[in-house]
Amino acid sequence: DNHPFSVDQGHLMIGGLNTIDLAKKYGTPLYVYDVSLIRKNCRAFVNTFERLDIKAQVAYASKAFSSIAMLQVVKQENLSLDVVSEGELYTALQADFPVERIHLHGNNKSMNEVNMAIEHDIGCIVIDNFHDIALVDTLLKKHDKQMDVLMRVTPGIESKTHQYIMTGNEDSKFGFNLRNGQAYKAFQLLHNHPFIRLKGLHCHIGSQIFETDRFLMAADHLFAEIAKWRELYGYIPEVLNLGGGFGIRYTEEDNPIQLSRYAEALAEAVKQHAAKLSIPLPEIWIEPGRSIAGNAGITLYTVGAMKQIPGVRQYLSVDGGLTDNLRPALYQAKYDGVIANKADFPPTQTVSIAGKCCESGDMLIWDLPVPDVDDGDILAVFSTGAYGYSMANHYNRFPNPAVIFAEDGIDKLVVARETYQDVVKHDLSYE
Ligand code: LLP
């Protein structure tokens, strides 16, 4: 009930397709995306800003799930794109993503990354630190080009989320701190720079955040700083990028608001601040990753070994684990799942879903109510579309699973399953 998928004759459906047929056709573990849901999530943000008549860029944070097909869908939906590495930028170029809508992030950008961004004339570089300023300055000079940049600041806000995905707090590796004058120093270097155009400010306070008040607090901090810069230098920002981090539902414990509400709240806050300062309304940019891809993806696994410890626990092992979904092991993230070929059967027991990696911490779900389970049943885990495939790894030399896009009853393989040849591809002999 907590997830946006239907059930047909006991089988879980996605994108108009039967998950059991997909598992048979492509094997498991298998990532499957409902493409119409990706589009719906994109439109929730884009349409809201349009409805409010606010100039905006909704940049998909491609770290959540980047592949050529995914970026093509995002391009079709007219979003912009946030990349944080040469690999993500390369993927965007392969997907023929409009370069003027690509933004480059990163707290330790390499010379190659910045060079690539400048060579391809991407839309904007988000300057994260003094090292970035020097690098961008040097390389722009070399290329004899100008570039739009945003300055990333750290407002000093603790967002209510896992410590590993907090980014707006004072003690963060990201951005120029507002509180200790770092941001002001950086501003002085960038303002009126001959070929770096400071379009505005950026801040991202963290990820999987449900309360709009944290985003509003961030806006307060940004505008307090802007007020200072305006007074001293007459600076007026053209863009305000408030980052991503909009929370989604993993389990019934999560109660996210609608995506459009996040956009509305930000728009309202920026409007009020701009009015108070009597400056023109800046463009609002956001960078949702999880909220675009997360709930649109599921992972299918085949159930194998079951181990009963009487009075303690029933373990049910599947053919994937922390190699395709690192989040439970890394953040104690919780997920919901269902036996996809018995999707409307009433539960008869509670089991814990174990991965097959050689690691006790490789548990995907603790205490999941399920019906009677047989060897070979298919388990579907929900909301794995963000930071699942993108954080997949090769522990125990598992090949990475395939990715399927499902839309209007048509399935398409968009990332092929790795083979064992792929696994040893870069190994060289020592004989
Ligand atoms: N913008 C910036 C500057 C970011 O650092 C991030 C995420 C985003 C946007 C997108 O945030 P989202 O809308 O997806 O929450 N691997 C972690 C999440 C790390 C997020 C890192 N930055 C996880 O699996 O929860």
Residue 50 has pLDDT above 90, yes or no: yes
pLDDT, one tens digit per residue, over 180-201 is: 899 999 999 999 999 999 999 9
Q: Helices 259-277 and 212-233 meet at what angle, rounded to 10?
A: 30
Lowest mean pLDDT among 155-169, 230-244, 328-342: 155-169
Residue 212 has pLDDT above 80, yes or no: yes
pLDDT, one tens digit per residue, over 65-122 is: 999 999 999 999 999 999 999 999 999 999 999 999 999 999 999 999 999 999 999 9
* 14-to-68, 200, 256 alpha-carbon distances in Å: 21, 41, 22
Q: Would residue 124 show up in a list of annotated catalytic residues for this protein?
A: no
Site to substitute for ligand 1 among 287, 334, 390, most atoms within 8 A of C-beta: 287
CATH code of the domain made up of 52-293: 3.20.20.10
Domain boundaries, the chain: 7-33+296-424, 52-293
The per-residue pLDDT for 179 is 87
Task: Identify the residue whose C-alpha is closest to ligand 1 atom 16.
Answer: 387
Of the pLDDT bands very low, low, confident and very high (cuts 50, 70, 90), residue 164 is low
The answer to whether residues 121 and 97 touch, using CB atoms and an 8 Å cutoff, is: no
CATH 1.10.30.50 fits 7-33+296-424, yes or no: no
The per-residue pLDDT for 159 is 66
Task: Identify the residue whose C-alpha is closest to ligand 1 atom 5.
Answer: 204
331 marked as part of a ligand binding site: yes
Q: Is the CB of 387 under 6 A from ligand 1?
A: yes
Taking the CA of residue 410 as centre, how many other CA atoms within 13 Å lie in the half-sphere pointing to its CB? 5
Catalytic residue among 124, 203, 357, 358: 358
What sign results for the dihedral spanned by CA atoms 81, 85, 89, 90? Answer: negative
Query: For residues 403, 407, 409 and 412, what is the CA-based torsion angle, rounded to 10 degrees?
Result: -30
Residue 157 has pLDDT above 90, yes or no: no
280 marked as part of a ligand binding site: no
CA of 245 to the centre of ligand 1 (A): 6
